[in-house]
């Protein structure tokens, strides 16, 4: 077989170890592997009729190619948020503009071209590694008859159907360490610290990072918050702390009561605008209410930078082995997953069946704005 591997959406630590194991396992079993560069953009921009070098989009993968990639974070195949089913006129490759013309202000579906490319490349099985956006287009290709095995990754850990996505542990680990470091300036200056984390509309990164770091308050995306009450709680925390400071961790997707999600920029190909800035708004409001100086820090890309931690390496490599097991058995239309601590597989289209969010009733105190573990027995490893 010839297997195609790609990474889409935001980068996370753990992608390269996953790719390396997949390549080595596949080659050892007598198969060929190609890397599709820049996510779905690689298939969109590849011209099957061109004789020019197109290694910008498609490259062969060998043991030598991937020998050292697991030592680094990110994805050596690069990534994008391209959705070939919704391509703006400006993003349609020049050689396709005669065939695919997007209406004014709209998009065009270039999937017929992607199908031709897969056939021309002779790809027998496609293995995309991505979040629910990237995998949603994998579902589309599966419905078109393309053999696909999906691998879930996102630091937000919000792909439905699996308890764990590649990148989550490292993001939480980075956050816990950085929150601890920020106690130094917060305590030295006797301030309230507001730390904003990635996570889009899921509050799990904030919930778990706050729980593990011992932050005073956690504001998650699932529960709109009253900034006046948050100010009262923060002042109580600061006054009770011998070092006279308080730490609040807030999700980028959080909203004040009566307010809206803080977004900016144009929608991407999957209908998302960039989030971020609610932490700064909250910090300014807290300062106005309390009169106390507020330290605001958006951790942002620091959460997903650098090499993976040991848990993300373990899961990434295990997902790779599980995915190649499916490939070698010619079982497509599946996504590898972890459920209740056990590796398993689920139908690929399960990702669209439900939205994965924090179980507020079980894990969050909506009055005190902090994690709440009412009982531990029977909880999964990540409390999710």
Query: Which pair of tokens denotes residue 263?
Result: 């977004």
The catalytically annotated residue of 11, 133, 156, 163 is: 156
156 annotated active-site = yes
Closest to 373 in 3D by CA, of 184, 179, 211? 211
CB 182 within 8 A of CB 299: no
**How many CA atoms lie within 13 Å of 328's alpha carbon, on the beta-carbon side?**
15
Residue listed under structure tokens 């056990």: 342
CB 17 within 8 A of CB 321: no
First to last CA, the chain: 37
State the SS3 of 243-308: CCCEEEEEECCCCECCCCCCEECCCCCCCCCEECCHHHHHHHHHHHHHCCCEEEEECHHHHCCCCC
Alpha-carbon torsion, ordered 8, 10, 16, 19, to 10 deg: -20
Q: How far apart are CA 263 and CA 275, in angstroms?
A: 5
What is the set of active-site residues? 156
């Amino acid at each position: 077989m010839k297997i195609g591997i790609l990474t889409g959406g935001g980068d996370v630590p753990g992608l390269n170890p996953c790719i390396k194991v997949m390549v080595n396992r596949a080659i050892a079993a007598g198969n060929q592997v190609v890397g599709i560069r820049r996510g779905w953009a690689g298939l969109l921009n590849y011209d099957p009729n061109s004789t020019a070098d197109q290694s910008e989009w498609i490259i062969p993968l060998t043991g030598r190619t991937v020998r050292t990639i697991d030592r680094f974070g990110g994805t050596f195949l690069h990534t994008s948020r391209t959705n070939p089913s919704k391509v703006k006129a400006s993003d349609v490759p020049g050689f396709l503009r005669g065939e695919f013309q997007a209406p004014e202000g709209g998009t065009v579906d270039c999937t017929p071209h992607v199908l031709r490319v897969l056939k021309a490349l002779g790809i027998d099985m496609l293995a995309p590694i991505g979040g629910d956006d990237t995998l949603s287009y994998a579902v589309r290709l599966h419905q078109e008859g393309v053999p696909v095995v999906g691998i879930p990754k996102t630091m937000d850990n919000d792909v439905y159907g699996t308890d764990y996505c590649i990148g989550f542990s490292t993001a939480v680990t980075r956050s816990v360490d950085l929150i601890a470091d920020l106690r130094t300036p917060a305590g030295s200056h006797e301030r309230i610290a507001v730390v904003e984390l990635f996570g889009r509309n899921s509050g799990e990164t904030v919930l778990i990072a706050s729980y593990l770091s011992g932050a005073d308050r956690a504001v998650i995306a699932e529960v709109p918050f009253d900034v006046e009450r948050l100010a009262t709680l923060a002042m109580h925390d600061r006054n009770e702390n011998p070092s006279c400071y308080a730490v609040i961790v807030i999700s980028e997707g959080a909203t004040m009561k009566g307010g809206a999600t803080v977004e900016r920029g144009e929608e991407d190909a999957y209908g998302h605008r960039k989030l971020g800035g609610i932490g700064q708004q909250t910090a300014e409001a807290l300062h106005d209410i309390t009169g106390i100086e507020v330290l605001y820090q958006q951790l942002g890309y620091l959460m997903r930078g650098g090499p993976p931690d040991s848990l993300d390496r373990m899961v990434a490599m295990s997902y790779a082995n599980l995915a190649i097991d499916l490939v070698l058995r010619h079982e497509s239309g599946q996504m590898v997953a972890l459920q209740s601590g056990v590796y398993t597989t689920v139908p690929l289209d399960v990702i669209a069946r439900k939205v994965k969010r924090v179980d507020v009733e079980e894990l969050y105190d909506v009055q005190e704005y902090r994690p709440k573990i009412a009982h531990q027995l029977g909880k999964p490893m990540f409390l999710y």
